[in-house]
Amino acid sequence: MTTAQEASPVVELRGVAKEYAGGVAALRGVDLTVTAGELLGIVGPSGSGKSTLLHIVGTLDRPTAGSVAIAGHDIAALADRSLSALRARHIGFVFQAFHLVPGMSARDNVAEGLLYRGLSRAERRRRAAYALERVGLADRMKHRPHELSGGQKQRVAIARAVVGEPDLLLADEPTGALDSASGDAVMALLHDLNAEGATIAVITHDTEIAERLPRQVRIRDGRVVADTRGRRAGAAV
């Protein structure tokens, strides 16, 4: 990957505001740029606006005001169908609750992340197997969710999110349902994926998690109150 590509913006928010019914302001004039290859934490307490920011960056919601560009695409210019296609191709999601299909194997859960790519079932399963190898679950491909630990379930969810090689991975409280050892392992995995070139934003209320990341964007009352860069710490620090 060239230096120019590494510096390319994956996320560009300018003056983004979001108001809900009753005049409740969840975001107030947020500016945020995330460039290719970054690993950052978006951190704030409950009610700070970080979840709304996740929905805006993930194109799950549209802003009331301001501009949003994802991978160079102006969100305002896209109809809902085109926006869904952009989301499927450019953004991967990891959630606290895993969202795995109970009756399906780990490999088939991961292959679901490629359903809208026009690939054959065999090719989807081949890529899913490779993604599971990347997250250290080569020996768990046939296991169903109830046969996996919490940390393994989250690894499957991460494999599903990255199998399509999205421009951006959004991890929403990825360690929230895990014990500390499993949480550390998941964070180490995110660091490894970032070292391989993935652009990752971790949304969390946990300041300890955020402080392990090279960049921290702190949200309070719908505004970015700090945007700092620290050393590239390991997840187990």
pLDDT digits (tens, 9 = 90+) for 158-209: 999 999 999 999 999 999 989 999 999 999 999 999 999 999 999 999 999 9
Query: Is residue 78 scored above 90 in pLDDT?
Result: yes
71 band by pLDDT with thresholds 50, 70 and 90: very high
More confident residue, 170 or 230: 170
Start-to-end C-alpha separation, the chain: 29
Structure tokens at 202: 């971790």
What phi and psi, each to the nearest 5 degrees, are found at residue 133? -60, -40
Which residues in 30-64 are b (16+ Cβ under 10 Å) and which e?
bebebebbbbbbbbbeeebbbbbbbbbbbbeeebe
Alpha carbon 64 to its chain's center: 23
Integer angstrom CA distances of residue 170 from 22, 59, 90, 160, 167: 29, 11, 11, 12, 10
Structure tokens given for 117: 């790519």
Please report the domains of the chain, with CATH numbers, ordered by start residue.
3-229 (3.40.50.300)
Write down the pLDDT at residue 23. Answer: 85
